Structure 1
Amino acid sequence: MGPPPGVDPWQLWNRFAAVNTDNSRRITAQELAIELLSGDWAPLDIDTVRMLMSIFDTDHGKTIGFNEVSPLYINHLQNVFRSFDRNHSGSIDGGELREALSQIGFRLSPRLLDLVQRKYGTTTGGQYQTAPNISFDRFIRACIAIAQLSEAFQKLDSNRNGWDYDEFMYTVLLRPKVHSLWP
């Protein structure tokens, strides 16, 4: 498997090789974090980078090889986030979050959207704001958590036998860390 369609394989390989400082042909979370800094974004939290790694790491080796890299996913999230960060503040508010998640394909009820905003919102002095904004780092975390939980829900309700998506998501998102990938 090569690079995704539309990605120049040499450009992608050059980026991959540049961050693969130990020439192992596999990159670590720390090396991926360096690659993600090449844009004009604030540094991503190492836990967010590890969450991204978990998506790409198909062989579960805690590193990713060239064929596991999916820059289009990260670029897509960056583009969506930028398009809704209309004031270029580096964060989006609840209305912008709803639109951004909808553009990605997540249509959440107002109740779930409020919970996501509170759970992943930016804190000020350790206290959540009444209507917290979401930074890019936290936006990535929210998207990954929603995607993973939605996938888990689909597996549980494969027969469409009455599971309530909204209730499932609310219950799992509201709980303290249940799984190391879910912040």
Structure 2
Amino acid sequence: MYQRPDLYLKRIFDNVDRDRSGSIDAQELQAALSNGTFLPFNPETVISLIGMFDRNNSGTIGFNEFKDLWRYVTDWERVFRSFDRDNSGNIDFNELKQALASFGYRLSDFTISNILRRFDKHGDGTLYFDDFIQCLVVLHNITAEFSQIDTNRDGRIYIHYEQLLNMFVNTKV
């Protein structure tokens, strides 16, 4: 039986909204998301997601924000599966390298290794789905900050130390 997506999402939202407040906090959202390992979604990723979709800065998301977040996560899940070539449920170094290249990041193996190490929460040299999302959100936000200064688009910026600090402080991670 076909079910309208909004009704399906509303049922999920209502089940996750345990306190019946009409909004979902980080703990409730974490319970709604799956990273494919039967472990809770990475708390840092959950907080990042709420930060991205919490339009009124309440620290929670309402149903309309939840719909947008769900669509975002579902889209990233498709991307994740397309790069998980061996269907292992995680992204290894070579798969991450391919993913980043396809997104326009031209990075050295050394930098990719550092990125992998930074976001590998399980210490097994791979990224699970929630870690993959967090990695890409952070890279996107850092790139956006960098692009504001790289006005001639040559991939280089010349900044003072305080500017660098401000870039990191202003970057939503």
TM-score (norm 1): 0.71
State the distance in 2 between where 1:112 and 1:80 align.
Answer: 21
State the distance in 1 between where 2:154 and 2:106 align.
Answer: 18
State the distance in 1 between where 2:63 and 2:78 align.
Answer: 23
Look up the match of 2:98.
Answer: 99
Q: Tell me if the contact between 2:36 and 2:89 (Cα under 8 Å) persists in the aligned partners.
A: no
Q: Are residues 180 and 50 of structure 1, via their aligned partners in 2, closer, same or farther at CA, if it must alter by over 3 Å?
A: farther
Look up the match of 1:54.
Answer: 51
Opposite residue 156 of structure 2, the aligned amino acid is: D
1:87 aligns with 2:86: yes
Look up the match of 1:133.
Answer: 126
State the distance in 2 between where 1:144 and 1:76 align.
Answer: 13
State the distance in 2 between where 1:162 and 1:101 align.
Answer: 19
Q: From the two aligned structures, give the one with the greater helix fraction.
A: 2
Unmatched 5+ stretches in structure 1: 1-6
- Give the root-mean-square deviation of aligned CA atoms: 2.9
Measured against aligned partners, the alpha-carbon deviations of 1:75-122 in whole angstroms (never above 9, x if no partner) come to 12212222222333332111101222344x342322532331232235
Task: Specify which of 19, 24, 33 is matched with residue 21 of structure 2.
Answer: 24
Look up the match of 2:10.
Answer: 13
Q: List aligned pairs for 1:104-115, cutoff 5 A.
A: 105-110=103-108, 111-115=110-114
Unmatched 5+ stretches in structure 2: none
1:146, distance to aligned residue in structure 2 (A): 0.5
Q: From the two aligned structures, give the one with the greater strand fraction.
A: 1
State the 4+ residue runs in structure 1 displaced beyond 6 angstroms: none
1:149 aligns with 2:148: no
State the distance in 2 between where 1:53 and 1:107 align.
Answer: 25
1:18, distance to aligned residue in structure 2 (A): 1.4
Opposite residue 134 of structure 1, the aligned amino acid is: L
